[in-house]
Amino acid sequence: MTREPFKHVGHRFKPVKGLPWPVCIGCGLVRLRNPITEWCVRHGCNHEDRPEYKSVLKQTTSEKR
């Protein structure tokens, strides 16, 4: 089985009543304006399909000691 090449699918943010942050109607991403969220915004709704996603997630969410 061959894998399809990655294609960027942009977010479509909308305000949600009762939330201070907009939410993507495509994937449900809440725009929190932190480093991992901003990375996900730049890379689109299918950001989890990018090969470097897991390493970026680990780097940006690792506990600082």
User: What confidence category does residue 3 fall into, taking pLDDT thresholds of 50, 70 and 90?
Assistant: low
| CA 36 to each of CA 1, 5, 53, 59: distance values in angstroms, whole numbers, following the listed order | 31, 23, 10, 9
Query: What are the pLDDT digits (tens) for 42-57?
Result: 999 988 888 888 999 8
Q: What is the pLDDT of residue 63?
A: 58
Instruction: Give the number of other Cβ atoms within 10 Å of residue 36's Cβ.
Output: 15
Q: Phi then psi for 14, rounded to 5 degrees?
A: -135, 145
Residue 51: predicted pLDDT = 84
* pLDDT above 90: residue 8: no
What residues pair up with 57 in beta bridges, in sequence order? none
